[in-house]
Amino acid sequence: MQQLIKYTEEELVLLLKKQDQQAFSYLYDNYAAALNGVIFRMVEDKSLSEDILQEAFVKIWNNFASYDTTKGRLFTWMLNLTKNLTIDTLRSKGYKKQSKISKDENSVSNVPDTGLGAEKFDTIGLRKQLENLKPEQRILIEMAYFSGYTQDEISKDTGIPLGTVKTRMRSAIIELRKILQYA
């Protein structure tokens, strides 16, 4: 669907605080696929992933008043809410917490191309840029971002000391930022 209106993050937040459904529709169109991608990587089940996505968006709508702009970007808040919901769902379904993230360094490029990004980014160009990320940096970002892992769990699972997880995570995210900035 063609988006006629484009909101800045501030406008969007203001409208959502007023329970504006058009703004919510815009929010969905712009972020649902990204959040769905994160959920899917955690649950590896398309239909369960969409059920959780649906629940997450209803929660985002109902709890929007609790979003505090001073604590971070809108997407970060939505992502954390979604990740927590996914972890809770997996737990309630009796799933054992385990890494769904492939340690294979090529896993990132195996994600199905959905076309959503194409409208907003030079997707192919950016994906190529991501190849500049060192495999160990990419794995760390994947584990942090696309799993319900805590720092301790990442440390245990990879055998990397906790302090090193922190410093490597930092350099990985800095590298990511550089890559995406100049892409």
Partner 1 sequence: MQVEEIISSGLLELYAAGLTSKEETAQVEQWLKQYPAIGIELSEISAGLETYAQLQAIEPAPGVKEKIFAAINTV
Task: Summarize as ranges the residues that interact with partner 1 (CB under 8 A).
Answer: 21, 24-25, 28, 32-38, 40-41, 49-50, 53-54, 57-58, 61-62, 70-73, 75-76, 79-80, 83, 108, 111-112, 114-117, 120-121, 123, 126-127, 130, 141, 144-146, 149-151, 154, 166-167, 169-170, 173-174, 176-177, 180-181
How many other CB atoms are there within 10 angstroms of residue 165's CB atom?
A: 20
Q: How far is the CB of 83 from partner 1 (least distance, A)?
A: 6
Q: Would you say 14 or 173 has its CB closer to partner 1? A: 173
Q: How far is the CB of 90 from partner 1 (least distance, A)?
A: 16
Per residue, the 3-state secondary structure of the chain, as one string, reads: CCCCCCCCHHHHHHHHHCCCHHHHHHHHHHHHHHHHHHHHHHHCCHHHHHHHHHHHHHHHHHCHHHCCHHHCCHHHHHHHHHHHHHHHHHHHCCCCCCCCCCCCCCHHHHCCCCCHHHHHCCHHHHHHHHCCCCHHHHHHHHHHHHCCCCHHHHHHHHCCCHHHHHHHHHHHHHHHHHHHHHC
Location of structure tokens 């100049």: 182
The token pair at 77 is: 């808040």
Q: How far is the CB of 92 from partner 1 (least distance, A)?
A: 19
Q: Would you say 18 or 94 has its CB closer to partner 1? A: 18
Q: How far is the CB of 4 from partner 1 (least distance, A)?
A: 17
Q: Would you say 91 or 121 has its CB closer to partner 1? A: 121
Q: Would you say 94 or 147 has its CB closer to partner 1? A: 147
Q: Would you say 11 or 94 has its CB closer to partner 1? A: 11
